[in-house]
Amino acid sequence: MLHGFIPPQRYFAYLTWQMIADLPDKENVVIAQPIGAIEQHGPHLPLAVDAAIATAVLGKALTALPDTIPAYGLPPLYYGKSNEHWHFPGTITLSAQTLRQVLMESAESLYRAGFRKLLWLNAHGGQPQVLEMAARDLHQQYPDLLVFPHFVWNVPNPAAEMLTAKELELGIHAGDAETSLMMALLPDQVRSDRAVCEYPQGLPTDGLLSMEGALPFAWVTRDLTQSGVLGDATAASRAKGDRLLAALTQGWVEVITAIHQFRQPAA
């Protein structure tokens, strides 16, 4: 089934051109693009983690969304800008320029069809900046096109209550949170017997420069980890994943509703 996690009645690609032409109040219909990556996630998780999380969370949210909110999910964009992982076999990456062009041209196609609200629901931490710049450029080019470049983990969720302080700071890839969520979404694809705990090695100790903070340095994954894991995957559990999924689902129901109701500020 092409729709996967997305409910079929909200799967954009199942519509006909006539159904799209006849949609009422098309300017306020929310079109959601799940964006992920195909990249290494350690020895225990599949390459499709980010694409799976983006698509599944969107699909769960669209399933829970009230029928009164018109919203559709696009087929997932599986490939992203993943060059920080390209030293690990299996990673497939687009350049920032290619990803930007795909986002721009697909958005322009939706604009020509009459849609004016586009959500980019991204689950890969290596590309938010590309999305944010493309969104700004699209809105400058088409002032009535409203683009929302959002990260799947940015809605309220209980990660801070469930993870250790070290994990919250350094567990950014294939660690406790992602592994737990994948146990809830695709348990048969999680190789728990291969899970490892590996935190970034050789980080600055001056307290000023950091991997992901306000004053970061450029890095590729091979600089920091041998396994490809940045975090403690051994601490993951299905119970944590179920709790995270429920919170993310509710959060994105609220965000999609807010986007539907949003009107562009005008001075």
pLDDT tens digits for 23-63? Answer: 999 999 999 999 999 999 999 999 999 999 999 999 999 99
Three-class SS of residue 125? coil
What are the angstrom distances between the C-alpha of 96 and each of 32, 77, 103, 117, 126?
Answer: 21, 14, 11, 23, 10
Residue 175, pLDDT score = 98
Query: Does residue 152 have a pLDDT over 90?
Result: yes
Q: Quick one: angle between helices 49-64 and 176-185, nearest 10?
A: 60
Banded model confidence at residue 215, pLDDT cuts 50, 70, 90 = very high
Query: Does residue 120 have a pLDDT over 90?
Result: yes
Q: What is the DSSP track for 88-102? A: STT-BB--HHHHHHH
Record the pTM. Answer: 0.97
Average pLDDT in the 213-224 region?
94
Rg (CA), the chain: 19
Q: Which two tokens stand for residue 177?
A: 């949170």
Q: Quick one: angle between helices 238-261 and 49-64, nearest 10?
A: 60
- Complete domains list, the chain, with CATH: 29-261 (3.40.50.10310)
Average pLDDT in the 195-213 region?
90
Banded model confidence at residue 202, pLDDT cuts 50, 70, 90 = confident
Is the separation of the CB atoms in 207 and 235 below 8 Å? Answer: no
**What span, in angstroms and rounded, lies between the C-alpha atoms of 260 and 29?**
7
Q: What is the mean pLDDT of the chain?
A: 97
Tell me which amino acid residue 167 is: E
Element at 232 (helix H, strand E) = strand 231-232
